Amino acid sequence: MGLVVTITSGKGGVGKTTATANLGVALARRGQRIACVDADIGLRNLDVVMGLENRIVYDLLDVIEGRAKLRQALIKDKRLPELQLLPAAQKRDKTALTDKQMIKLCDDLRKDFDFILIDSPAGIEGGFKYSVAPADQVLIIATPEVSSVRDADRVIGLVEAQEKPQPRLIINRMRPSMVKRGEMLDTADVLEILSIELIGIVPEDEAIITSTNKGHPVALEDHSPSGAAFTRIAQRMLGEPVPFQVLDDSTGLFNRLSRIFQR
Amino acid sequence: MGFLDRIFRQTTKSADTAKERLQFVLAHDRSDISTETLEILKDEIVNVISNYVEIDREHVEVTITTDANISRLVANIPVLNTRRPRAPRRESARQAARPARAVRTKS
């Protein structure tokens, strides 16, 4: 039985779709059978980030509403045999889907996949709710900025209110040089404020932009800092004890991080 | 960030400002009590306390602070005179109607 993991953030533009695509790639590269589900009905994007936009025939709502079978709608990624995408419907809106339908869909997917990764829409309305409803685990993604951390805090509260296990945090777009100058919240600050468990830190990386331009997720290769960071998160999702890397040479960050893990 | 660091640092770094501002807004966001409810609560607290001691109504502060595990109702109520006013004062209208007495109790 597969595990349903929802990636959400509250705030838009912090990297939910990029994280979903790359975690899907990184997990599939480790032999896991992965279904990436784009739950952002009306604002479909996971397909372009994964580079699969030309192969869509049916979408999530076609499956829900009985016009297509799951296996007809799922798109196989030719680069990775274990990776498949269920695209969102583009010409509908989020009122077309209920929590119950999403739970049923995920229960069907659990039979054939090890992980079902749900790319949640931004916001805390219906789209967020039906994305979290089927989740066994929730990953919150936030950038080290005031607005993103505030929204993450709100979303953590809402996830806990749904009686889900405590979500884990991905800090995205971290800039070690700014942290070093004291001009960006560091990992310890964000963790102290949100008081949830960290699952990974992804550095700001131009490779994300170029890879998205091409529809070729960074995690397909090992050489980019962001791709390596997503791979480490995937390893932690599989229960491998991967130490948290010190981004750059900021000893301050390392010391404060190790202090947190000694508690 | 240590106390001395703060003292000797010439300017506050923006990361520290961000952290303080976040802690402040989150304390508010995390409390279940709305601003309106808090105002009503404040008025009632003020009225009850005014029955026993004279307080500076203009400078009463009632806030809710929330840390990771605990929420606190913090009330800062300046007392003008610990002598109890003779009659309970429940409404501000009634208070305004008797300005002479209010002056007397202060002296």
- Give the model's confidence band at B72: pLDDT under 50 very low, under 70 low, under 90 confident, else very high: confident
| pLDDT at residue B95 greater than cutoff 80 | no
- Give the model's confidence band at B94: pLDDT under 50 very low, under 70 low, under 90 confident, else very high: very low
pLDDT in tens, A61-83: 999 999 999 999 999 999 999 99
Q: What is the CATH number of the domain that holds A48?
A: 3.40.50.300
Q: Residues of B numbered 53-72 whose beta carbons fall under 8 angstroms of chain A's beta carbons: which are they?
A: 68
The confidence score (pLDDT) of residue A98 equals: 97
Q: Are A85 and A74 in contact (CB under 8 A)?
A: yes
Specify the pTM. Answer: 0.77
For the four alpha carbons of A98, A112, A36 and A158, in that order, the dihedral sign comes to positive
Q: How close, in Å, is residue A192 to chain B by CA atoms? A: 9
Is A153's Cβ below 8 Å from some Cβ in B?
yes
Q: How close, in Å, is residue B56 to chain A by CA atoms? A: 35
Point out the residue among B15, B29, B68 whose CB comes nearest to the CB of A150.
B29
- Closest B-chain CA to A179: B15
Parallel, antiparallel or unpaired: strands A115-119 and A3-8: parallel
pLDDT in tens, A14-52: 999 999 999 999 999 999 999 999 999 999 999 999 999
pLDDT in tens, B16-31: 999 999 998 998 788 7
Helix A187-194 × helix B14-30 angle, to 10°: 10
Q: How close, in Å, is residue A98 to chain B by CA atoms? A: 27
Contact B26 A193 (CB under 8 A): yes
Set of chain A residues whose Cβ sits within 8 Å of the Cβ of B22: 146, 149-150, 185, 193
| pLDDT at residue B6 greater than cutoff 70 | no
Q: What is the ipTM of this complex?
A: 0.82
The confidence score (pLDDT) of residue A259 equals: 52
The confidence score (pLDDT) of residue B8 equals: 59
Set of chain B residues whose Cβ sits within 8 Å of the Cβ of A189: 15, 18-19
Total domain count for chain A?
Answer: 1
The confidence score (pLDDT) of residue A19 equals: 98
Please tell me the distance from the alpha carbon of residue A124 to that of residue A158, in angstroms, as a whole number.
8
| pLDDT at residue B87 greater than cutoff 70 | no
Q: Which of A48, A21, A51 is nearest to A36 (CA)?
A: A21
List chain A residues with pLDDT less than 50.
Answer: 249-251, 263
For the four alpha carbons of A246, A250, A253 and A254, in that order, the dihedral sign comes to positive
Is B32's Cβ below 8 Å from some Cβ in A?
no
Please tell me the distance from the alpha carbon of residue A218 to that of residue A79, in angstroms, as a whole number.
13
- Give the model's confidence band at B10: pLDDT under 50 very low, under 70 low, under 90 confident, else very high: low
Q: Which of A246, A240, A241 is nearest to A225 (CA)?
A: A246
Range of the domain at A83: 3-262
Q: Are A27 and A37 in contact (CB under 8 A)?
A: no
Most A CBs within 10 Å, among B1, B13, B19, to test the A interface: B19
